[in-house]
């Protein structure tokens, strides 16, 4: 156990550099530890979560394994909000004065050339991780996710509200819960919030 403690400490230090190479190495190492037959990483899942590393591929890999429910279920109330935080946009607001409103729309409105304005790497990766986990946990994960989203849709910070507008789940239950909040977001002062809410409503309309 001492060795795994030391190894995880080294892994988290590597993750702190926040480079693409560093994140890739972290994901690879954590996934290799996950494959250990002795399950050496299982008692340390909470440390992986609390480290807030961008190990999205690790969560996707774990979601595909039979041990996922047993290992991760107790930690969903903590993991889901952390993944949600990674969905918040950080650069759109700075770009707004240089863009017209059409250029801020998601790709469903225009073309793929504009998608990087709204969809950054963290958002797409965190969404992919939540999608994969939802296949394993279904309603259990949705309970947590909807609680996070409904609270965030009432948040004063526009980045938080905009992230909550993103349609992470398009199930009928999610639609019934979130649509009233999204309709309110159509009147938001921030253009990005209005655009994302409008796009989300179009997704739920299907």
Alpha carbon distance 185, 191 (integer Å): 10
- 139 neighbors 107 (Cβ within 8 angstroms): no
Mark whether 41 and 83 lie in a shared domain.
Answer: no
Structural domain contains residue 81: yes
Token pair recorded at residue 121: 């790497």
- Please report, in tens digits, the pLDDT of each residue of the chain (206 residues total): 557 777 777 777 776 666 777 777 788 888 888 877 667 888 888 888 887 777 888 899 899 888 899 899 999 999 999 999 989 876 544 444 344 444 444 554 444 444 444 457 888 889 899 999 998 999 999 999 999 999 999 999 999 999 999 877 778 888 899 999 999 999 999 999 999 999 999 988 87
Structural domain contains residue 126: yes
Mark whether 15 and 88 lie in a shared domain.
Answer: no
Q: What is the DSSP string of 83-142?
A: HHHTTS-SSHHHHGGGS-GGGGS-TTTS-GGGHHHH--HHHHHHHHHHHHHHHHHTHHHH
For the chain, the domain total comes to 2
Mark whether 110 and 158 lie in a shared domain.
Answer: yes
The predicted-structure confidence for 27-39, as pLDDT tens digits, reads as follows 888 888 887 766 7
- Rounded to two decimals, the pTM is 0.78
Structural domain contains residue 63: no
Mark whether 102 and 42 lie in a shared domain.
Answer: no
Mark whether 27 and 102 lie in a shared domain.
Answer: no
The predicted-structure confidence for 142-166, as pLDDT tens digits, reads as follows 999 999 999 999 999 999 999 999 8
Enclosing domain of residue 45 = 1-54
Alpha carbon distance 108, 203 (integer Å): 10
Mark whether 131 and 169 lie in a shared domain.
Answer: yes
């Amino acid at each position: 156990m001492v060795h795994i403690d030391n190894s995880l400490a080294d892994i988290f230090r590597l993750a702190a550099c926040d480079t693409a190479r560093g994140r890739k190495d972290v994901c690879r190492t954590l996934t290799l530890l996950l494959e250990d037959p002795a399950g050496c990483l299982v008692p340390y899942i909470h440390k992986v979560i609390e480290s807030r590393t961008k190990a999205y591929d690790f969560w996707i890999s774990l979601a595909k394994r039979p041990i996922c429910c047993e290992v991760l279920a107790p930690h969903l109330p903590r993991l889901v909000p952390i993944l949600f935080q990674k969905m918040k946009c950080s650069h759109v607001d700075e770009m707004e004065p240089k863009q017209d409103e059409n250029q801020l729309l998601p790709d469903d409105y225009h073309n793929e050339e504009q998608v990087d304005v709204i969809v950054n790497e963290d958002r797409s990766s965190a969404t992919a991780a939540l999608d994969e986990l939802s296949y394993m946990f279904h309603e259990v994960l949705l309970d947590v996710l909807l609680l996070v989203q409904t609270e965030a849709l009432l948040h004063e910070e526009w980045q938080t509200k905009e992230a909550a507008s993103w349609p992470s789940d398009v199930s009928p239950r999610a639609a019934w819960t979130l649509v009233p909040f999204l309709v309110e977001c159509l009147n938001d002062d921030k253009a990005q919030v209005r655009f994302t809410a409008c796009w989300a409503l179009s997704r739920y309309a299907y």
